[in-house]
Structure 1
Amino acid sequence: MQLYQEQHIKIYNSLSGTKELFTPINEGHIGMYVCGPTVYSNVHLGNVRTFMSFDMIFRYLKHLGYKVRYVRNITDAGHLENDADAGEDKITKKARLEQIEPMEVVQRYTVDFHNILNTFNFLPPSIEPTATGHIIEQIELIKNIIDNGFAYEVNGSVYFDVHKFNETNEYGKLSKRKLDDLVHNTRALDGQSDKKNPQDFALWKRAEPQHIMRWPSPWSDGFPGWHLECTAMSTKYLGEQFDIHGGGMDLKFPHHECEIAQNEAAKGQSPVNYWMHANMLELNGQRMSKTTGNTVNPDELLSGNNKFFSKAYAPSVIRFFIAQSSYRSILDLTDDGLLASEKGFYRLMDAINLLGSLKSSEKSSIAINAWKQKCYDAMNDDFNSPILIAHLFEAVKYINQVKEGSESLTSEDLNTLKETINVFTFDVLGLENVTKKDAGTDKLSGAVSVLIKLRQEARANKDFALSDKIRDELAAVGIQLKDGKDGTTFSVN
């Protein structure tokens, strides 16, 4: 018997605005799609928070015994500035500024993305497709939408006809926006004169002569619209209807709204049963922004090389801090918050490491099975990690009481306590067993991670002399780098 048969999950569905009992389309199997990064810069810490939330969800579903196909894409084409239908492709702009090929930009920042996620102990998704690898599927999807009367071609570009779609469907049902309000609040923008209406969005854009990333299509040499790629890739690998679609709150409109419209226009049915959105990450009570300088990237947080925080923090401390807030809540990243989380994290690790020295008794004075179910109840309630952590600290109290002799546990209950606290701490929350004594090692890991990143950038810039120097000087002090398909790892001799 699988655990999912006795543990019943409720998920907050953004589409309905309520918590709903989760019932997968196919018993025992789950299809989950999460919008991945646009790889034109180093991964943003707010994005890490979103991906970390879905990593925890992925881990819990797997723990319950579900066979999960988790698809998280890489956007390497078609994403224009300010998420608009006009302007410059973000990747092409970065390539022009740095005088390198667009796919060099993609490679550099895809490697950075994987390195950061590996540092934070993420599980890899089942499939990680790229937009450029699915151009054919996107063209076929556009053909279907045109054939069904919901798109039109103008001067080599193809646009989705929002008003036509809204005659028989509901555009805006995810974000709870009405088309009439969108019309009223939309101002005319340059470069959108080809559209019938400003609310229409691009399915295919004709490439200007200077545009490097382009593909042939029945309409023009061009590139796909940003919204289209996720529709094509999610349905290719998960089917025309699948269980869960996730992403950041900022993607709800227009990106996810457009995904729903595209699917309904092409296939005549809504693609997803449960829409999930992770909320934003703030820094010291304000929105993170490169423009204002109120931002910190993951490397800077791990190394301590920043102006906001008093010290470097271990990856598991940061992960623990993020898990102490619901994925649906705005999370404020502060030094005081991280310092408090660090103390709590090491207290939890110390208690777990005490478990091996505890002695069992003939009788239990603690209801361990009831405590165990409370841990499941927390995760079953829309993956409520803060409540789960509160229950883990109940177990910390039990462990210390048993050690002191004021409470007792039978051998069976002691084993249940050990197994449960380990499962939820390491398998579900994805933390790693690090103690204060290992803090120096964590700082070393953070420093080496920064050097690995600098070496990757040197290689991307074809500065092989600097790349080799970093590798050789680390080797001289006993740190060996190993390059693999998933990035660079290191070992200490």
Structure 2
Amino acid sequence: MEQKLSIYNTLTRTKEIFEPLHAPHVGMYVCGPTVYSDAHLGHARHGVTFDLLFRYLQHIGYKVRYVRNITDVGHLENEEGSGEDRIAKKARLEQLEPMEVVQYYSNRYHKVMNDLNTLPPSIEPHASGHIIEQIESIKEILKNGYAYESNGSVYFDVEKYNKDYDYGILSHRNIEEMLNTTRDLDGQEEKRSKVDFALWKKASPEHIMRWPSPWSDGFPGWHLECSTMSIKYLGKEFDIHGGGLDLMFPHHECEIAQNTAMEKHQVVKYWMHNNMITIAGQKMARSLGNFITLEQLFAGDHELLEKAYSPMTVRFFILQAHYRSTVDFSNEALQAAEKGLSRLLDAYARLDKIVVSESSSVKVQDIRQKCYDALNDDLNSAIVIANLSEAAAIINSAVADKVKLTTEDVVELKGIFDTFLFSILGIRNDSSIGNSSNNEAFSKAIDLLLDIRQKAKENKDWATSDQIRNKLSEAGFDIKDGKDGTEWKLK
């Protein structure tokens, strides 16, 4: 059955049936990291959200060109476009070349994204590698009358653009309100209006990262890179632009203005934004002491963490909520996600223990379509997980001989898990070391201990039997005796 994805279009604030401009090809651009620090929980949610979209679009038959940029120049400390370049500042403080900082944190970002089992993008361009293209973009905007040069810098003329188009169309902000609420900044006198933003900045003498241009030795503005690189790799019309909700304004609003000023029409059909992760209801921030990197999360190395959490637990935790909802971090929530994922993986591992019957006493055929319906309804991964939990309950009931399943039912249940939990939701089936094919020797050693324990029970050597069970439990194993033998897993 053909699947059609309905997504939430931020531009119109409605859910619409996704109809790509160049079916069966989809162009998808996602704002990637500014690589000056380690990836954190917010990066995890962003990465997992658009990995889910990438996986699902491919699953339902689209050929996807997924472009995710690396910001390595032009992102200044303040959103208004002032202060020091974030990467240049890091390089100065650590006495490194800026590209050493970029390479170091890019490598670490890719490592944790791989840990989270996110697929790599089709293209991952760097802003610093597209300076020539950004200069050409500025020339086009100047030619069309929506920018001006001032003392070697070039600024986008927001008020002039707003007369012809609509600045604020994405975030639904009114330019008059912005003029009244935007604060004046030191060194911004060269702008005609305080809402104007930089396309090119003249570099001060001490500025490390600089390139020659027709206006000055300087560097591009942060907003320009995404407009330039998305059009370069996806064309003058493409389907999806994604990013975190915090990028809607000013970054994505400025992108729309730049795109329209260059091409005289809107370039992006659908804008998608994932919401943030909060900690105890607060936005995560270094200044609040609640900033947790992914490496700290995986190692349990932070004062707010009660234990380490595996990458698949973190991925599952993120997918338990709809991507547009706020997710509040807590140890309790992560531990609940850990248990929920364990229940699904345990049920999947027990499929081969089902004794099949000639007829069914429950219906499993509807679960697959319910999972598709949830994903087609704006990627509702939370409902998919609820449907998988229903499938797990059926498996557990069948193992306990409380319901009857046919061979076809068992094959269908396995297919549902393979398709939705592992392929589309992207869960790696390695959360339990004992069930991993990479740890066959480890598994055999545990089985040997349990065989010794079984023989001790048969000889009524209860002391040895209990000792093996207790020691395994202390080591982190959950041992369950059943009518079909003893099962084990890591707690």
Normalising by the smaller structure, the TM-score range is 0.7 to 0.9
Residue from 144, 149, 152 that aligns with 1:148: 144
Query: Distance between the aligned counterparts of 2:312 and 2:216, measured in 1?
Result: 49
Residue from 323, 326, 333 that aligns with 1:330: 326
The question of whether the paired residues in 1 share the 8 Å contact of 2:312 and 2:431 is answered with: no
Query: Distance between the aligned counterparts of 2:96 and 2:169, measured in 1?
Result: 42
Note the alpha carbon deviations across 1:230-279, whole angstroms, 9 max, x for none: 00011111111111100000000000000000000000110111100000
2:312 paired with 1:316: yes
Query: Distance between the aligned counterparts of 1:86 and 1:27, measured in 2?
Result: 41
The aligned residue for residue 424 of structure 1 is 420
Note the alpha carbon deviations across 1:298-327, whole angstroms, 9 max, x for none: 111111111112111111111111111111
Map 1:432-451; keep pairs closer than 5 Å.
432-438=428-434
Query: Distance between the aligned counterparts of 1:374 and 1:316, measured in 2?
Result: 24
**What amino acid sits opposite 1:333 in the alignment?**
F
Query: Distance between the aligned counterparts of 1:116 and 1:165, measured in 2?
Result: 41
The aligned residue for residue 483 of structure 1 is none
Q: Which has the larger radius of gyration?
A: 2
Q: Secondary structure at the match of 1:81?
A: strand
**What amino acid sits opposite 1:372 in the alignment?**
R
Q: Secondary structure at the match of 2:199?
A: strand
Q: Which moved more, 1:16-25 or 1:408-417?
A: 408-417
Q: CA deviation at 1:66?
A: 1.0
Query: Distance between the aligned counterparts of 2:125 and 2:291, measured in 1?
Result: 29
Residue from 95, 115, 119 that aligns with 1:119: 115
Note the alpha carbon deviations across 1:82-125, whole angstroms, 9 max, x for none: 22322110011001101111111111111111111111111000
Note the alpha carbon deviations across 1:26-62, whole angstroms, 9 max, x for none: 1211111100000111112212211111111111111
Residue from 335, 343, 363 that aligns with 2:339: 343
2:127 paired with 1:131: yes
The aligned residue for residue 257 of structure 1 is 253
The question of whether the paired residues in 2 share the 8 Å contact of 1:349 and 1:434 is answered with: no
The question of whether the paired residues in 2 share the 8 Å contact of 1:59 and 1:428 is answered with: yes
User: Given the superposition, is the C-alpha separation of residues 184 and 439 from structure 1 closer, same or farther in structure 2, using an over 3 Å criterion?
Assistant: farther
2:39 paired with 1:43: yes
Q: CA deviation at 1:67?
A: 0.6
Q: Secondary structure at the match of 1:88?
A: strand
**What amino acid sits opposite 1:290 in the alignment?**
R
Gaps of 5+ in 1: 443-493
Note the alpha carbon deviations across 1:148-189, whole angstroms, 9 max, x for none: 000000111000000110111000010000111111112321
Q: Which moved more, 1:431-440 or 1:276-285?
A: 431-440
Query: Distance between the aligned counterparts of 2:351 and 2:41, measured in 1?
Result: 34
Q: Secondary structure at the match of 1:244?
A: strand
**What amino acid sits opposite 1:159 in the alignment?**
Y
Note the alpha carbon deviations across 1:279-314, whole angstroms, 9 max, x for none: 011112221110121111111111111111211111
**What amino acid sits opposite 2:119 in the alignment?**
L
The aligned residue for residue 244 of structure 2 is 248
The aligned residue for residue 487 of structure 2 is none
Q: CA deviation at 1:412?
A: 2.4
The aligned residue for residue 452 of structure 1 is none
**What amino acid sits opposite 1:122 in the alignment?**
T
Q: Secondary structure at the match of 2:29?
A: strand
The aligned residue for residue 18 of structure 1 is 14
Query: Distance between the aligned counterparts of 1:44 and 1:405, measured in 2?
Result: 45
Query: Distance between the aligned counterparts of 1:191 and 1:38, measured in 2?
Result: 24
Q: May I ask how many residue pairs the two structures share in their alignment?
A: 438
Q: Secondary structure at the match of 2:82?
A: coil
Q: CA deviation at 1:435?
A: 4.6
2:55 paired with 1:59: yes
Query: Distance between the aligned counterparts of 2:22 and 2:296, measured in 1?
Result: 43
Note the alpha carbon deviations across 1:339-367, whole angstroms, 9 max, x for none: 11111111111001111232333222332
The aligned residue for residue 294 of structure 1 is 290
Query: Distance between the aligned counterparts of 2:361 and 2:124, measured in 1?
Result: 49
2:299 paired with 1:303: yes
Map 1:466-485; keep pairs closer than 5 Å.
none
The question of whether the paired residues in 2 share the 8 Å contact of 1:156 and 1:219 is answered with: yes
The aligned residue for residue 167 of structure 2 is 171
The question of whether the paired residues in 1 share the 8 Å contact of 2:26 and 2:63 is answered with: yes
Residue from 94, 97, 102 that aligns with 2:93: 97
The aligned residue for residue 161 of structure 1 is 157
Q: CA deviation at 1:335?
A: 0.4
Query: Distance between the aligned counterparts of 1:121 and 1:188, measured in 2?
Result: 44
Gaps of 5+ in 2: 439-491
The aligned residue for residue 484 of structure 1 is none
User: Given the superposition, is the C-alpha separation of residues 237 and 437 from structure 1 closer, same or farther in structure 2, using an over 3 Å criterion?
Assistant: closer
The aligned residue for residue 214 of structure 1 is 210
**What amino acid sits opposite 2:347 in the alignment?**
A
Query: Distance between the aligned counterparts of 1:369 and 1:161, measured in 2?
Result: 58
Q: Secondary structure at the match of 2:148?
A: strand
2:359 paired with 1:363: yes
**What amino acid sits opposite 2:384 in the alignment?**
L
Q: Secondary structure at the match of 2:84?
A: coil
Q: CA deviation at 1:388?
A: 0.6
User: Given the superposition, is the C-alpha separation of residues 203 and 372 from structure 1 closer, same or farther in structure 2, using an over 3 Å criterion?
Assistant: same
Query: Distance between the aligned counterparts of 1:401 and 1:439, measured in 2?
Result: 21
Query: Distance between the aligned counterparts of 2:435 and 2:282, measured in 1?
Result: 30
Q: Secondary structure at the match of 1:217?
A: coil
The question of whether the paired residues in 2 share the 8 Å contact of 1:314 and 1:439 is answered with: no
The aligned residue for residue 233 of structure 1 is 229
**What amino acid sits opposite 2:278 in the alignment?**
E
Q: Give the alignment's TM-score, normalised by structure 2.
A: 0.87
Query: Distance between the aligned counterparts of 2:362 and 2:232, measured in 1?
Result: 50
Q: Which moved more, 1:167-176 or 1:207-216?
A: 207-216
| Percent of matched pairs sharing the same residue | 56
Q: Secondary structure at the match of 1:364?
A: coil
Query: Distance between the aligned counterparts of 1:365 and 1:166, measured in 2?
Result: 64
The question of whether the paired residues in 1 share the 8 Å contact of 2:429 and 2:436 is answered with: no
User: Given the superposition, is the C-alpha separation of residues 422 and 99 from structure 1 closer, same or farther in structure 2, using an over 3 Å criterion?
Assistant: same
Q: Which moved more, 1:256-265 or 1:21-30?
A: 21-30
Query: Distance between the aligned counterparts of 2:3 and 2:27, measured in 1?
Result: 19
The aligned residue for residue 445 of structure 1 is none
